[in-house]
Amino acid sequence: MPKLAATIVAIGAYAIMSGFLTQSGVILQPMSVDFGRSVAQTAPLFSYLLAGNLVGFLLCLVVFDVLTIKRVFLFAYAALFAGVALVAATHAFAAAAAGIALIGFGAGIGLSAGAVIITRSYGANQRAAAFLGTDCAFSVAGFVFPAVASAAIAAGYGWRAGYFVVAAAAAVLLVAALRTRLPAAAAGAPGVHERWSGATRASVTGVVLFCAGLCLYLCGQSTFLIWAPTYLETALSVGVPQANAVIGSFWGPSIFGLITAALLVTRVQPRGVLIVASCSAVLCTFLLVSTPNAHTFFTLTSVFGFTSTCMYKLMISLGSEQVASPPPQLVTFLLLAGAIGGTIAPAASGAVVGVFHVHAGPVMAFGCYAGALVCIVLALALERSRARAIPVGALSV
């Protein structure tokens, strides 16, 4: 029962992050009116949310050495509430940017704390299933909170109402975290630094390969989602409303794909599921680049969403298994690697498209997924060679 309660807290932390991140498109227009700026001038505000995330992830590389998970949650959501309060109190663009950065900072630390709970509570296949459960929660929250924000705006409550709703959910989660028995992190746990120093060069190489795979995966996913609508409009002569619907064609099936993967990893090795998902992602993106038919493009996008989105949490789960008894900084490092990929995608893909035209967007996504597959294959091959030299039990938590 304590493990179930802790898992619910961990999953909730992902839902909070999703709640703030996914309503951006809904609140952009009324936000631009509120600040008296164009939509293009207002959109960069959301970059501060991602920047705050990155800073939060960086801090989490050290914070678990000095604070318990409960205190990390308290610190994280205090920053988050301060950010929401600042956004609520100001009509100044710069102050709103600072508030949104604080929200991203707090939500990012909370997400890292949730990931550490999963890592410390589960091992092997169970951990992979639990991580996939957090992605399911992220996707569900990405449907619920934007819908709530949209309804609130339609009812005349303003764009800030969506943030208030997520902040209220965060307050409930914080109370639950403080009242739940959570696993120990680094604070007070003996031998944490010894675990790092005991990691072999091969295991560290495995971690680095999974980090590279995560970075390439999120760069590829973000690149595809950014440029797929424009590619459909330009290359396949699809109307704007229908082209924009390709995003839903990706995320809708992804929820069912995550549930399917979570069920699969309780019965078969997560490594096999990851290889199949990665190969499918490479094949789908190659076919997406090659097809001249819009209907086929949408169908392939649905298959792509269904099969590929489980890759992220499976890589985090398996990456955290590369070091025996992994310290909490390891999963944060893996999250940071993925966040870097998602953050650089807009600028990197924009530069590539600027040189090679819009067709280069999906091609770049294909290249990123192919690179991620290479990293995964190399990491698993290294893991297998390492397993021949040491006891199998030494690779699990």
pTM: 0.74
C-beta separation of 61 from 336 below 8 A = yes
Q: For the chain, how big is the Rg over CA atoms in Å?
A: 21
Q: What torsion, rounded to 10 degrees, do the Cα atoms 222, 227, 229, 234 define? A: -170
Residues 173 and 205 in one domain: no
Q: For position 200, what pLDDT does the model report?
A: 64
Are residues 172 and 81 in contact, defined by beta-carbon separation less than 8 angstroms? no
- Residue 396, C-beta contacts closer than 8 angstroms, at least 6 positions apart: 123, 124, 321, 324
Q: What is the pLDDT of residue 192?
A: 44
Q: What tokens were used for 22?
A: 């996914």
The answer on 248 and 166 residing in a single domain is no
Alpha carbon distances (Å) from 355 to 35, 327, 348, 351, 352: 34, 43, 11, 6, 5
Residue 103 has a pLDDT of 94
- The single residue listed with the structure tokens 């609130």 is 152
pLDDT at 202: 66
Angstrom distance (rounded) from CA 240 to CA 238: 7
Given CA atoms 51, 8, 334, 344 in this order, what sign does their dihedral have? negative
* Residue 186: per-residue pLDDT: 54
Q: Give yes or no: residues 241 and 278 share one domain.
A: yes
Tell me: do 232 and 288 sit in the same domain: yes
**End-of-domain residue from the set 141, 158, 189:** 189
CA–centroid distance for 180 within its chain: 25
Q: Tell me: the pLDDT tens digits for 336-388?
A: 888 888 778 877 887 888 888 888 889 999 999 999 999 999 999 988 876 66
Residue 381, sorted as left (phi over 0), alpha (psi -120 to 50) or beta, turns out to be alpha
Q: What gap in Å lies between CA 226 and CA 204, rounded to an integer?
A: 33
- CA diameter of the chain: 65
What does the pLDDT profile of the chain (397 residues) look like in tens digits?
A: 578 888 899 999 989 988 888 777 677 778 888 888 876 677 677 778 878 888 888 888 888 878 888 999 999 999 999 999 999 998 888 999 999 999 999 999 998 888 888 878 876 567 777 877 787 887 778 778 888 888 888 888 888 999 999 999 999 999 999 988 887 765 444 444 444 444 566 678 888 999 999 999 989 988 887 788 888 888 888 887 787 777 778 877 888 888 888 888 878 888 999 999 999 999 999 999 998 899 999 999 999 999 998 898 889 888 878 776 667 678 778 888 888 887 788 778 878 888 888 888 899 999 999 999 999 999 999 888 766 665 444 443 3
Distance CA 186, CA 193 (A): 9
Say whether both 184 and 201 belong to one domain: no
For the chain, give percent helix, strand, coil, nearest 5: 85, 0, 15
pLDDT value, residue 199? 55
Distance in angstroms (rounded) separating the CA atoms of residues 4 and 12: 12
Check whether residue 204 and residue 91 sit in a common domain. Answer: no
> Is 230 in contact with 238 (CB distance < 8 Å)?
no
In 36-184, which residue ranges form alpha helices assigned H by DSSP? 39-42, 45-63, 69-89, 93-121, 124-154, 160-179
Q: Which domain holds residue 256?
A: 197-395
Contact 16, 166 (CB under 8 A): yes
By residue count, the chain amounts to 397
- Residue 75 sits in the same domain as residue 142: yes
Distance CA 192, CA 35 (A): 48
**Domain C-terminal end among 137, 162, 189:** 189
- Provide the CA 212 distance to its chain's centre, in angstroms: 15
Q: What distance in Å separates the CA atoms of residue 46 and residue 100, rounded to the nearest whole number?
A: 7
Same domain, 238 and 173: no
pLDDT in tens, 110-151: 988 888 888 788 765 677 778 777 878 877 787 788 888 888
Considering the domain architecture, whether residues 171 and 217 belong to the same structural domain is answered as: no
- Where a domain ends, among 136, 170, 189? 189
- Is the same domain home to 218 and 176? no
Query: What is residue 78's predicted lDDT score, i.e. its pLDDT?
Result: 95
CATH no. for residue 234?
A: 1.20.1250.20
Encode 235-244: b = buried (16+ Cβ within 10 Å), e = exposed: beebeeeebe
Residues 215 and 296 in one domain: yes
Q: What is the domain count for the chain? A: 2
Do 110 and 206 sit in the same domain of this protein? no
Q: What distance in Å separates the CA atoms of residue 301 and residue 227, rounded to the nearest whole number?
A: 13
pLDDT score of 372:
96
